[in-house]
Amino acid sequence: MKFIHRTFVFGLLIALSAKLNFACKDKKEVAPSKDWWETAQFYQIYPRSFKDSDGDGIGDLNGITEKLDYLKELGVTATWLSPIFKSPMADFGYDIEDFYEIQKEYGTMKDFENLIKKAKQLGIKIILDFVPNHSSNESEWFKKSVARDPEYEDFYVWEDGIDDPKNPGKKLPPSNWLAGFRGSAWQWNEQRKQFYLHQFAVQQPDLNYRNPKVVERMNHVIRFWLNKGIDGFRVDAVPCVFEIERFPNGTYLDEPKSGYTDDPEESDYLLHIYTQNQPETIDLVYEWRRVFDEHQRIFNTESKVLLIETYAPPDYTMKFYGNVTTQGAHLPFNFNLITQLNSQLTAEDVKKSIDSWLPEMPSKRTANWVIGNHDKRRASTRYGVEKIDHMNMLVMILPGVSVTYQGEELGMLDGIISWEETVDPAGCNSNSSIYEKFSRDPCRTPFQWDDTKNAGFTTKEKPWLPMAPKYEELNIKTEMAAKESHLKIYKSLIELRKKQTLKFGNYKYNAVDKNVFVVLRTYNNSQILLIENFGNSEEKIDLTKSFPNLDKLILKIRNLGSKKELGSTILANNIQLDKYEALVLTTETVL
């Protein structure tokens, strides 16, 4: 009996093993798949500057709806809109008065619903900008907090301050903390007789996330807009949401000097070790992801994506992705290509910036690549006009998600904004001699649709910001009509991203010398190679030294300055690169 039993068991194991092997074989042959956001092309719209539909010189929701066909033709997967909520516009929408209403100059809730409807028809996801760190000081929440309404009394960060030894009866701020827009981060409120914290403009009081009522209220805001049909949120200023807890006497630790600047009013004068990147912030992001996933589960929808603004050290940023038991943000934004590179960039600099993200990522997470936004000088201006195609190629060929700020596909340049024309509080809070260092107005100038007056953005004589230089050349109409243009190169890159090699392929990258950078994507026998010369001299490269499997390749895409013939064959062991030349090469058959 024992022999029979053992024989039976042994046979059963063999049968099970065969089934398992067959199942594994079947599984291996199944084509890979990814969620919609994992290979998406995100496109940021700054609504105030995208398209004015009613002639008031300010972009609006109907203008965006009108131009969604352009985004569809471009190949955009999802577009995220900078804040469109009711606001006094002290910081152009990042000071929210009512998280549930649309700003009147942008339109109505009906206009927003029409935007969502058309976007869904076109297959474009709509992502909204969520600003949880603060509200406007004109918000009803803040007014009730000032009046010590029991429900709202602790909605914000309030402190008594400390006695001024030189002036009895007067209070000083409880710490030396500085605001992002210059000066103390503490503002005295005469009605309440306390200071409130504002890490940005004085009109932007910080919400108190140590109060559970604030957490739940903001969760309600998230649910409200998810129910309106949006596909996710980009979350603003996440590192600032929590600050260290106060001492029992109502004071805080002072932040140390950074040594970066001698200007005691500038935010960078201090190292923000007590007001940014606190451990509680990680848990709050996990809570927001729980709300997203709960909504998806209840309503059986596609994934609602959570993107967060970080600007934090890599070891802290990577925690936002989640851990072995908890899901975090789908995408903590990767700003390395912005913060670590400038017009003097080299291939070695590019490699370092990628090295500080890709190898640091937790397993099975998705990378993302960003070269510009509404807070930073435009990519063409920062990197140099001759390198804008290089940078667009880079974010499209590297694995993961690409993020484009409106105008980068055209090579748009920074606007030239005088002191008198400056409206950004980051510039206005300085003075006429240094405002250009801080103002974000130059990267927020109106989008360039054609070569007519005001670039087709508005029919008003004077738009809210003046047009940027060269808009007669760098616009949709002109670049679409041209034989070659930044826009056509960009569209070719998005088309190439539909290939399985870029969606699912393995990757290698390297600086083969100081100026030449290479990215190789492989999938089965298919190869896509990006090779970029960031230097102003010619280069002769033998790529087989670094990538021995490379042989003959076909030129598919080239930067605007390249003279090489598209479709020509190039040998990997003998690549001649002109100065500032960038090429995308593939095998003859590319999957």
Q: Which amino acid is at 459?
A: T
| Catalytic one of 159, 309, 375, 479 | 309
Alpha-carbon distances of 345 from 230, 337, 410, 413, rounded to whole Å:
38, 10, 21, 18
**Any idea what DSSP says for residue 304?**
P
User: 429, 182 in Cβ contact below 8 A?
Assistant: yes
Task: Spell out the residues 6+ positions from residue 244 whose beta carbon is closer than 8 angstroms to its own.
Answer: 252, 253, 274, 275, 278
- Strand, coil or helix: 499: coil
Instruction: Name the residue among 368, 364, 230 with its Cα closest to residue 303.
Output: 230
- Strand, coil or helix: 531: strand
Angle of CA points 359, 361, 366, to nearest 5°: 115
102-115 burial code (b ≥16 CB/10 A, e <16)? bbebbbeeebbeeb
DSSP string, 187-198: EEETTTTEEEE-
**Any idea what DSSP says for residue 374?**
T
User: 59, 201 in Cβ contact below 8 A?
Assistant: no
The rounded distance, in Å, linking the Cα atoms of 425 and 137 is 15
Instruction: Name the residue among 261, 180, 239 with its Cα closest to residue 440.
Output: 180
User: Which tokens is 278 given?
Assistant: 């606190």
Burial (CB < 10 A; 0-12, 13-18, 19+), residue 195, is buried
Alpha-carbon distances of 234 from 89, 297, 459, 460, 464, rounded to whole Å:
19, 20, 31, 31, 25
The rounded distance, in Å, linking the Cα atoms of 166 and 170 is 9
430-469 burial code (b ≥16 CB/10 A, e <16)? beeeebbebbbbbbbbbbbbbbeebbbbbeeeebbbbbbe
| Catalytic one of 95, 111, 231, 236 | 236
The rounded distance, in Å, linking the Cα atoms of 414 and 293 is 39
- Strand, coil or helix: 166: coil
213-247 burial code (b ≥16 CB/10 A, e <16)? ebbebbbebbeebbeeebbbbbbbbbbbbbbeeee
309 catalytically annotated: yes
The rounded distance, in Å, linking the Cα atoms of 591 and 155 is 54
Strands (E), 407-490: none
Instruction: For residue 368, count other CB atoms closer than 10 A to its CB.
Output: 24
Phi and psi at 295, nearest 5°, equal: -65, -45
User: 65, 118 in Cβ contact below 8 A?
Assistant: yes
Q: Kindly list the catalytic residues.
A: 236, 309
